[in-house]
Structures are given as C-alpha cells and as structure tokens.
A and B are shown apart, each in its own frame.
Chain A
Amino acid sequence: MPPLRVLLVVLLGLACVSPVATVATAADDAELHTILSALASDDAAVRKAALVRLGASRDARLIPFLDDYSQGSAYRLVDRVVVAPIASDGADGTKVAILLDPLSRQPLGAEAVPLGELTVLEAGRRERVAARDATNRLRLYVPDRDARLSAVTRVGDGEDAGAAGVLADVLAVESDPAVRRAAAEGVHLLRLLDTDPEHAALRSASISALADLGSARSLPKLRAVLDTKPDAETAAVASAAIARIESWQSTLRAVGHVFSGLSLGSVLILISLGLAIIFGLMGVINMAHGELVMIGAYATFLTQKAFELWLPAAWSPAYFLVAIPIAFAAAAMVGWIIEQAVVRWLYGRPLETLLATYGVSLILSQLVRSIFGDNRAVNSPAWLQGGIEVANGLVLPYARLFILGFCAAAVIGLVLLIGRTRIGLLLRATTQNRPMAAALGVGTRRIDGFAFALGSGIAGMAGCALTLISNITPNMGQELVVDSFLVVVVGGVGKLAGVVIAGLGLGSLTKLFEPWTQAVWAKVLVLMTVIVFIQWRPSGFFPQKGRLSDA
C-alpha cells in the first residue's frame, strides 16, 4: 500500500472517530497528543521529559500506550502518534496491522496497513525505564488494587527522594491496607535518601518505622546509611533496625524454603504416581515412563496450537484446562498400546520387560524428535503467570500453587479410585493374587491393560502440569525417569502413601540442602542420603507385606 493511501485510510478513520470524543476532554487530549509527539524527538532529554509529564498526568488511558511504546508497537504517522499492538502477516509476507488511536484505542480506519511504511517510535532501555516509571506513577491511582500495590512499591524503590511527596499524596486517598503499608514503607525508604542534617530526626524516625515494618527492601539502603558514617545515634538506630529486619527475613526465608520443598515434592509426586501404579502395583519396571510424561507435555503443546489455530483468541486462556484430559487420554492410549504390544508378553520376566520398555522409550523420544523436529514452546496461560505476595518479599507463584493443588487432587482421586470403586477392587485383587482373581472371574488381562493405561494417563497429566514451570523436549523423559524411580524406590512399592511421603521428603531435602550448598552439591547430598536410607530400609518406607513379597 503506498504511503499516501495509508494516510488516506487513517484520515478517513479519524473523521469517523472524532465525533465520538467528548468535548470536555478534547482540550486535554490535544495536550496529551502534543506530549506524545515529543516521543518522536531525536533528543533523549526531550523524550525523557515527555515521559515524566505523561507519568504525572494521572490519565490511566496512557498505561496501555506506554506498554505498546516499550514493546516497539507505537508509530509515528506524519505528525501524530498511533499504536499497532496486534500485527499480522499481510498477503505479501510483510507485517500489517490496524492502527489505533493511542488514547481512545479506537481503530483509525478498518483496513490494516503495512507497518513497514510507518516510522516506529524507538524505545531504548533508558526510555523503557522512564516509561516504566511513568506507568508506575499512573498506576498509583488505577482502580485495580494489585496494580496500585505494585506501582507504590516501585515508586518507593526509586532513587528520587522527591517522590516521597508523590507517595504521601497516595496515602492521603488510599484505603487498602496493603497498599497503605507499601506506600508508608516507600515514604520512609525515600526519606533515607535525604541526607540533609536538619532532617536527621525525621530520618531516624523513618529507620525505626522501617524496622517495625520488617522491610526487606530497606536492607541495602539501611546499610548504605551506615556506610555514610552518620552520627552515633543514627548509626545505633540503623544497626538495631538491620538486626531486627534480618531476623524477620530469615523467618520468611524459612517459610519460602518449606514452600519450595513442598512444590518440588509435588512435582516429584506427580511424575512418580503413574510409575507407582505400574511398578508398585503390577511389578513392571517401565523405563518408558518418562516418555509418557513427555507425550502428555506434547499433547498440551498440540492443544495449545489447536486453540490458536481454530478457536477464538478469547478462549485460549482455557486451553490449559482442556489440555489436562487430552494429555491424560493421549498418554493413556500410548500406555495401553505399549502394554498390549510389548509388556503383556513379558509378565514375570522383569529383565526383559526393562530392556523392552527401554527400547520403547528410545523409539518414542526419537519419534517425537522426528515429528516435531525441534524444541517447542508451550506458553503458560496468563492466569497462571506471576504469583501471590504473601509477605513482603515472599512470592508464591500461581503455577507452583496450581501444581500443588493438582497433585493433591490427583493423589486423592487415585486413592478413591483404587480404594472405593469396583474397578479399583478388581485392580487390587489382580495385583494381590492373580490366579485367585482369575479363578473368581476377573478378566486379569483387561485389568492389566487398564492399570497400565491409568498409570500412563497420570504420567501424561504430570507432563501437562510440567509445561507450566519447564519446557518440553523430546528427551525430557530420560531426565524424569531417574527422579521418579528414586521416589518410588524410597517410598516402597506397597502403597501410594509411600510415593507421597518420599516425594515430599526428597523435595524438602533438596530444598533444605540447596540454599547452603548450591544445586550441584544438593543433588549429590540427596543421592547419598538415599543410598544410606536404602541400606537402612531396603524396601523403602512402605514395603510390600504378605505372601506376595516372598514370591
């Protein structure tokens, strides 16, 4: 499309949009547009000044604009600024997009224009930092409480002592307790930067206030205060504050480590549950277990692609929920085929089963590599990104919380299925005494197939959950199978409770060692602990009891 036509399309669009704008804001908007145009300046100082003014405008409509600007989606068209947040591939392979007004975000014309024709408003690192500062100032007054909280925190962490007034303004109107706390903390933090001797009393008061708040953010700044060699009184107050805050922080860290341990434990339990059924209940060593996890992960990837290709964009956040049963079904199907084609011919021959399933694992991982050819990315759904800040400095990521809950649900579901249903009864009967169960009319072959598919399906769901915190590769299974065997062996092969205890135990142990030994040695120490444990209890926490264990 020639540039003249681009302009025409946009001007026509403008003509349509203009009457919508209300008269009252027209003057303000004109001023904002003037400031926006300054972003196209060659002078970095002018660009920065424009961003500061935008930040002070308290106009929340600028927040999405600043985001577009930071991402390089704001453009200059003759003498106005437009945004094109959603670009797509045009007919001839170039990027095209429908241009939007930066404030109203109404389309300027219905036709997509090639972005190559426009001049992008380049935002370098400095501009992006300034844009982030401006966004934070704007967010101080948005209705969304979380956004206000994060903005207040960021302003307080800044280096600009003058911003204390900005936060004091917030305190005057803010009603949410968490935001008020962060704003007060910020005011005190910024007052630390004020080294004027006349304000020494105010500064000391701020230091004590920060100690009362147990503020982690203040530690470096309090140490900096000590480094400036203040008067004896301030130094004493600051030292006492640092000691108090540090003790509070170490308590928080301990809580954090416990959470990390539980979270890692839940991941270990998830990847081991399926193995516990197959290995624990059926006595089959399934070396292809990791590959079943991988199949679940790739099923999640395909579900996401399908949502992108065939369903409206608004539905895509839900892909993950749909992916869970699909991952289960895909892995269960593959597991059932493995059982029917390979494992069932080898019952009672553990060594052959081990070798055969190892072969299957190699085939599966190379098959996936041949089909998908490359590392593939699974994007976590937006509602599982980020985390909840339970205390200042302690964030529990939603993805990890989700996996904890998912793991709990899987364990409970499985316990109910095995303990309370008819199929569970048949499963237990078959695994406890196969000839007797067969004599009483249980189709043991079908039960074997069912148990294998069930274990595989759970592995598939684990693969689906893993995509939230990790990536998917054809060889991910080989890394996982070792961990899952470790869990099952430590737990003992008798009961699912063994898997739960071993998973949580190994997870917590790893996270106990890691903070003071680093990850490499933590792994070594955990493995050594397991070796010692196995010496002490060769059959794990819950050894198989009764006649079968002697067989």
Chain B
Amino acid sequence: MQSKNPLRALVASALAILGLAAPLAAEDTVKVGILHSLSGTMAISEVSCKDASMLAIDEINAAGGVLGKKIEAIAPDGASNWPLFAEKAKQLLTQDKVAVVFGCWTSSSRKSVLPVFEENNGLLFYPVQYEGEEQSLNVFYTAASPNQQLVPAAEYLMSEEGGSCKKFYLLGTDYVFPRTANKVLKAFLMAKGVPESSIVEEYTPFGHKDYQTIVGKIKSFAAGGKACVLSTINGDSNVPFYKEFANQGLTAADCPVMAFSVAEDELRAMDVPPLVGHLAAWNYFQSVDTPENKKFIAAFKAKYGKDRVTDDPIEAAYYGVYVWKAAVEKAKSFEVDKVRAAVYGLEFAAPGGMKKMDAKNQHTYKPVYIGEIQKDGQFKIVWKSKGLVKPDSYSSYLWPDASKIPAPTGGPKK
C-alpha cells in the first residue's frame, strides 16, 4: 500500500490489525471483572484479594480455560471510593460485558454496586465475611454470614475449653458490620441466659487511637475473672488497642480478646508479641493442614513473594473463581441466569477443604475455626466446627419468625 501520509498508513494498518484481532479475541477469551481498591485506605486489604483471584485465573488459563476459552481479567481500581465502585461496576457490565465480577470488600462498596448488578442482571462473587441481612440473586457470598463466625466464637468462649466466660465486652468500630454483629451476639448471649448486666457494648469512631479509657473499663470489668472481649475493631485501630491492653497489664490468659476482623494479613502489620494467645474466629487459617492448602500457599507465595500470607478473604476470593468455573461448566454457558442456577448446591474443593454452596440463599456452607495467635503471626487452631455450618443470610437471632424474612432482591429481568 502506497500512501502519501505515513500517519494515515499507520492508522490504517492499526485498524486492520484490530479488525482481524477483535473477532479472534472474542472467540478465544471470556472477560471477567475484578473490582477491588488498588489505591486508598482499603488497598492494603483488597490488593490481596485481587491477587488471589488473579492466581486462580492464571491457574485456570494454564489448565486450558473455561469451556475452551481463556479468561481475560479486567481489574479496574475502586480506589476506596464507594460511588466509584458503582461507576466501575457499570463500566464492567455494560461496556466490557464481563461474564462475572469478583470483588468488593467493605459493605459500603457492596451496597454501592448492588443496584448496578441488579439493574443489569450481573453476577458478583463477594469474598469477605459481613453482617448478613442481605440476599440478592445477583450476588454469591463466598465468605461467612454472622452465624458462621460470631455465634460459634461466643459458644467457644462459654465452653470449658474456652475458659467458661461469663462476662462479655462487645467492642467495635462504629459502622454497620460491628453494630449488626453485636446485635446478633447480644441476642445470642441473652438467649443463652447471660444477664444483660454481664454484657457491655461499646463503639469507637473510625481511626480511634486512644484506648486508655476503654482498656481501663475492661480492666475493672474483668477484675473478677471469667471475662472476655468480643472485638469487631476494624483496621488501624487494632494496634493501639492491643498495645494499650498489654501495657495496662492485661493478658490473654486473664481476659482473652476474640477478634472477628484480625487475620494473618493484618497480623503482618502488628507488633505480635503483645497479641500472643488472643483469639480470632474465621472459616480458614493459613495453618489449616491439608495438602490442597499447602499447594495453595506455595502457589500464592511463588507468585507474590515469600513474605506474603494467605487468610480467610484471600481463600474466599480464590475459590470464588473456581466456583464460577464449575458452575459455567455445569451450565455449559456463560449466561448469568444459567450460571446462577448451576451454582446452587454446588460442592467444591477449596484450599481449606470441601465446601458447598447453599441451595437457595446465595451463601456458602463453611467450617468454622477458632485460632490462637502465635508469636510468628500465624494461628494455632484450637477449635473446629463439626462439619460445615449452614449459612443464614438473615440471622435467626434477629429474625425469629422465618416467614417474615424479606424475599431475595434482584434476579433475571422480568
């Protein structure tokens, strides 16, 4: 081709290449979205989830893809900005036309994207434990619902093994997860006969750093022994809390702290010695001893570095991709409605062992573990549920009458 204008020639050839390449790409790949904060305050937690989903996608591609197609991941940055999450979700669903999205961490970001997914009948796999009280047909919740984390933890502390605790200090950061979690915990404890006078509920603002008064209160609360703290303290506030706790002379043996938001990844950022012996409740620990988990940890470390650790949301973000793959293969289609139907009741092998998707309520059957913090920043598993625990989307302690539970939202377009 002879052209007087070299720029025009370049554009023409570029167009030609694109024109040839585009149909090829469309045939060989299926697009999926990964929507996490890669910058801003939540990046510290969410980048690990994105890494886990990417690892699963790479593995699936290396093994031949899904229904003969390679997965092409599109990972925009939610930037810890909840309205931006909705914008990016819309872009993924309407412009990129992704088959599925893996993502979100905070409940605020999930609530922000929910209308977008419901309006466009998209599919979201959400990998973080949350407060429940939600059930959308456009979301699969691969992490714990409240009854898979909070209730077993309180039960453990009340048992002889857990120290026969009689007094409970519910301490959290002031936002939706701790508030709802403590509502569930309080309802459970009172149902078990714990008098209201033995339960203290307290909240701190986001980013609270001065725990002197609260630790002083806990100290007099715990003076008679048999007391524990159930902590939904979030993020940065944990370090000042545990430091003050140790400095005022309290130990895990006197008054254990059971944390619901401290996992291996968070422990990397903490001064661990004052935390040794305190507890956490999750559905997965890096120390779960199965061959699949060893393989998973090795693959994760090989891809992202020796000092990286795996934890509960990382596992959930990883196997969420495999759940979707299995459902697609079962449905022999990428269509959201067919895939959704295939997910119900699906049994699958995750790094932490066999798990199962619920037949109706969009959540996941999971085992529950209680771990004790060790000096190396890992957890020693001290208690494990017998088998898998059925998920409650709406806690039975807050909705004693099951018939009043709201119907699921979203779903196929009418």
Please, how many angstroms separate the alpha-carbon atoms of A479 and B268 in the complex? 22
A380 with B271: CB separation less than 8 A: yes
B249 with A128: CB separation less than 8 A: no
Please, how many angstroms separate the alpha-carbon atoms of A219 and B224 in the complex? 8
Q: Which residues of A contact B272 (CB under 8 A)?
A: 377
Min CB distance A159 to B, Å, is 8
Q: Which residues of B contact A376 (CB under 8 A)?
A: 269
Indicate the member of A216, A264, A519 with the most B CB atoms within 10 Å. Answer: A519
Q: B349 an interface residue at 8 Å Cβ cutoff?
A: no
**Given that A263-B212, A374-B269, A475-B41 are known contacts, is A519 also in contact with B249, CB under 8 Å in the complex?**
no
Task: Select B244's contact among A126, A219, A267, A397, beta carbons within 8 Å.
Answer: A397
Min CB distance A392 to B, Å, is 10
B216 with A471: CB separation less than 8 A: no
Task: Select B213's contact among A249, A257, A399, beta carbons within 8 Å.
Answer: A257
Q: A406 an interface residue at 8 Å Cβ cutoff?
A: no
8 Å CB contacts to A: which residues of B198-254?
A: 202-205, 207-210, 212-214, 216-217, 219-220, 223-225, 236, 238-240, 243-244, 246-249, 253
**Given that A72-B380, A267-B210, A393-B220 are known contacts, is A520 also in contact with B249, CB under 8 Å in the complex?**
no
Please, how many angstroms separate the alpha-carbon atoms of A375 and B309 in the complex? 13
Q: Which residues of B contact A132 (CB under 8 A)?
A: 253
Give how many A-B residue pairs fall within 8 Å (CB-CB).
136
**Given that A71-B276, A377-B271, A389-B249 are known contacts, is A519 also in contact with B244, CB under 8 Å in the complex?**
no
Q: A221 an interface residue at 8 Å Cβ cutoff?
A: yes
Contact with B along A370-398 (1 / 0, CB 8 A): 00001111111000011101000101011
Output the nearest chain B residue to A259 by Cβ-Cβ distance: B212
Min CB distance B177 to A, Å, is 15
Q: Which residues of B contact A366 (CB under 8 A)?
A: 39
A520 with B174: CB separation less than 8 A: yes
A469 with B249: CB separation less than 8 A: no
Q: Which residues of A contact B244 (CB under 8 A)?
A: 397, 469
Please, how many angstroms separate the alpha-carbon atoms of A195 and B225 in the complex? 19
B375 with A71: CB separation less than 8 A: yes
B210 with A219: CB separation less than 8 A: no
A470 with B209: CB separation less than 8 A: yes
Q: B353 an interface residue at 8 Å Cβ cutoff?
A: no
Q: B273 an interface residue at 8 Å Cβ cutoff?
A: yes
Min CB distance A532 to B, Å, is 20
A220 with B223: CB separation less than 8 A: yes
Min CB distance A407 to B, Å, is 15
Q: B65 an interface residue at 8 Å Cβ cutoff?
A: no
Min CB distance A256 to B, Å, is 6
Please, how many angstroms separate the alpha-carbon atoms of A476 and B240 in the complex? 13
**Given that A375-B268, A518-B202, A519-B204 are known contacts, is A393 also in contact with B219, CB under 8 Å in the complex?**
yes
Min CB distance B53 to A, Å, is 19
Please, how many angstroms separate the alpha-carbon atoms of A515 and B211 in the complex? 11
Min CB distance A197 to B, Å, is 24
A471 with B236: CB separation less than 8 A: yes
B224 with A220: CB separation less than 8 A: yes
Q: A514 an interface residue at 8 Å Cβ cutoff?
A: yes
Min CB distance A446 to B, Å, is 37
Q: B367 an interface residue at 8 Å Cβ cutoff?
A: no
Min CB distance A180 to B, Å, is 20
8 Å CB contacts to A: which residues of B98-143?
A: none
A518 with B253: CB separation less than 8 A: no
A386 with B249: CB separation less than 8 A: yes
B224 with A129: CB separation less than 8 A: no
Output the nearest chain B residue to A219 by Cβ-Cβ distance: B223
Bin chain A's interface residue count. 35 or more
Please, how many angstroms separate the alpha-carbon atoms of A470 and B163 in the complex? 29
Task: Select B224's contact among A221, A387, A473, beta carbons within 8 Å.
Answer: A221
Q: Which residues of A contact B46 (CB under 8 A)?
A: none
Q: Which residues of A contact B43 (CB under 8 A)?
A: 369
Q: Which residues of A contact B320 (CB under 8 A)?
A: none
B44 with A375: CB separation less than 8 A: yes
B213 with A479: CB separation less than 8 A: no
B223 with A385: CB separation less than 8 A: no
Q: Which residues of A contact B219 (CB under 8 A)?
A: 393
Task: Select A473's contact among B163, B213, B236, B247, beta carbons within 8 Å.
Answer: B236
Indicate the member of A374, A400, A523 with the most B CB atoms within 10 Å. Answer: A374
Bin chain B's interface residue count. 35 or more
8 Å CB contacts to B: which residues of A509-543?
A: 510-511, 514-515, 518-520, 523
Q: Which residues of A contact B208 (CB under 8 A)?
A: 519
Min CB distance A193 to B, Å, is 12
Please, how many angstroms separate the alpha-carbon atoms of A479 and B43 in the complex? 17
Q: B270 an interface residue at 8 Å Cβ cutoff?
A: yes
Q: B27 an interface residue at 8 Å Cβ cutoff?
A: no
Output the nearest chain B residue to A256 by Cβ-Cβ distance: B216
Q: A316 an interface residue at 8 Å Cβ cutoff?
A: no
Q: A125 an interface residue at 8 Å Cβ cutoff?
A: yes
Output the nearest chain B residue to A261 by Cβ-Cβ distance: B212
Min CB distance B49 to A, Å, is 14
8 Å CB contacts to A: which residues of B263-308?
A: 266, 268-274, 276-277
Min CB distance B398 to A, Å, is 22
Q: B382 an interface residue at 8 Å Cβ cutoff?
A: yes
Output the nearest chain B residue to A482 by Cβ-Cβ distance: B207
A470 with B248: CB separation less than 8 A: no
Min CB distance A125 to B, Å, is 6
Please, how many angstroms separate the alpha-carbon atoms of A129 and B254 in the complex? 9
**Given that A263-B212, A471-B236, A520-B205 are known contacts, is A515 also in contact with B248, CB under 8 Å in the complex?**
no
**Given that A264-B210, A470-B239 are known contacts, is A520 also in contact with B161, CB under 8 Å in the complex?**
no
B269 with A375: CB separation less than 8 A: yes
Please, how many angstroms separate the alpha-carbon atoms of A514 and B217 in the complex? 11
A519 with B374: CB separation less than 8 A: no
Q: A495 an interface residue at 8 Å Cβ cutoff?
A: no
Q: A165 an interface residue at 8 Å Cβ cutoff?
A: no
Q: B372 an interface residue at 8 Å Cβ cutoff?
A: yes
Min CB distance A297 to B, Å, is 12
Q: A217 an interface residue at 8 Å Cβ cutoff?
A: yes
Q: Which residues of B contact A393 (CB under 8 A)?
A: 219-220, 223
Q: A59 an interface residue at 8 Å Cβ cutoff?
A: no
Output the nearest chain A residue to B225 by Cβ-Cβ distance: A157
Q: Which residues of A contact B246 (CB under 8 A)?
A: 385-386
Please, how many angstroms separate the alpha-carbon atoms of A216 and B224 in the complex? 9
Please, how many angstroms separate the alpha-carbon atoms of A519 and B206 in the complex? 10
Q: A544 an interface residue at 8 Å Cβ cutoff?
A: no
Q: Which residues of B contact A124 (CB under 8 A)?
A: 382
A469 with B248: CB separation less than 8 A: no
Q: A260 an interface residue at 8 Å Cβ cutoff?
A: yes
Please, how many angstroms separate the alpha-carbon atoms of A515 and B215 in the complex? 11
B243 with A399: CB separation less than 8 A: yes
Given contacts A220-B224, A519-B205, 5 further A-B contacts (CB under 8 A): A380-B271, A386-B247, A393-B220, A519-B214, A523-B205
- A-B contacts, 21 listed (Cβ < 8 Å): A71-B374, A72-B374, A125-B162, A129-B253, A219-B224, A220-B223, A263-B212, A375-B268, A375-B269, A377-B272, A385-B247, A393-B219, A399-B243, A476-B236, A479-B207, A479-B209, A514-B214, A518-B203, A520-B174, A520-B204, A523-B205
Chain B positions within 8 Å of A, measured between CB atoms, are 39, 41, 43-44, 161-163, 174, 202-205, 207-210, 212-214, 216-217, 219-220, 223-225, 236, 238-240, 243-244, 246-249, 253, 266, 268-274, 276-277, 372, 374-375, 380, 382
- Top 5 nearest A-B pairs (CB, nearest first) are A220-B224, A375-B269, A471-B239, A397-B247, A260-B212
